[in-house]
Amino acid sequence: MPKDIKIAIVCSSNQNRSMEAHSFLSKKGFKHVRSFGSGNFVKLPGPSPTQPNIYNFDTTYDEMYKDLYEKDRNLYTQNGILNMLDRNRRIKPSPERFQNCKDEFEIIITVEERVYDQVIEDLQSRESESNNPVHVINLDIQDNHEDATLGAFLICDLVATLQESEDLDNDIDELLHEFEQDSGRQILHIVYFY
């Protein structure tokens, strides 16, 4: 009988890729899903690549929505940012930074190698307490709306496969290898202990 596993999805700003996967997994009935960012600030596209909108992690999605709506409603509607923030604020109040969360997860999925490295660095900096294992898995997903949606499907497939395992710690290497073969995506994986 599969059990509900505790899952964290991490991207850099807890806006697009992690929130799309969080939303999709929740809709598919996964009960213990959280999403995070690993960056120092939340960055959203601005009027040009050199002018991003930068917020602290304690800024709510609603505050970001209202700020960008006032700055340039047409631009942020056209590029999909207001729609994304509207989705996000229906899931949770504000973005969360992974490094500020001390909860334990069984699986942490990152969506780019830089984020994977930041998550591992943070885990290594923590004092070992419970000695419970956590599988940190990276699946590269480009940071745009279309790839975030496709990535959410892939993450859901991966999590569903992992959740079916009776002995995840022993089965995970084989399951990840099969997933790589089926999806054509390369995966990074490490086991860490809390």
Output the pLDDT for position 50: 95
Does residue 1 carry a pLDDT above 70?
A: no
Determine the residue type at 20. E
- What tens digit of pLDDT does each residue of 135-148 get? 999 999 999 999 99
Residue 79 DSSP code: T
User: Residue 109 in contact with residue 8, Cβ under 8 Å?
Assistant: yes
Does residue 63 carry a pLDDT above 90?
A: yes
User: Residue 164 in contact with residue 101, Cβ under 8 Å?
Assistant: no
- What tens digit of pLDDT does each residue of 104-152 get? 999 999 999 999 999 999 999 999 889 999 999 999 999 999 999 999 9
CB burial readout 46-79, b (16+ within 10 A) else e: beeeeeebebebeebbeebbeebeeeeeeebeeb
Whole-model pTM: value is 0.96
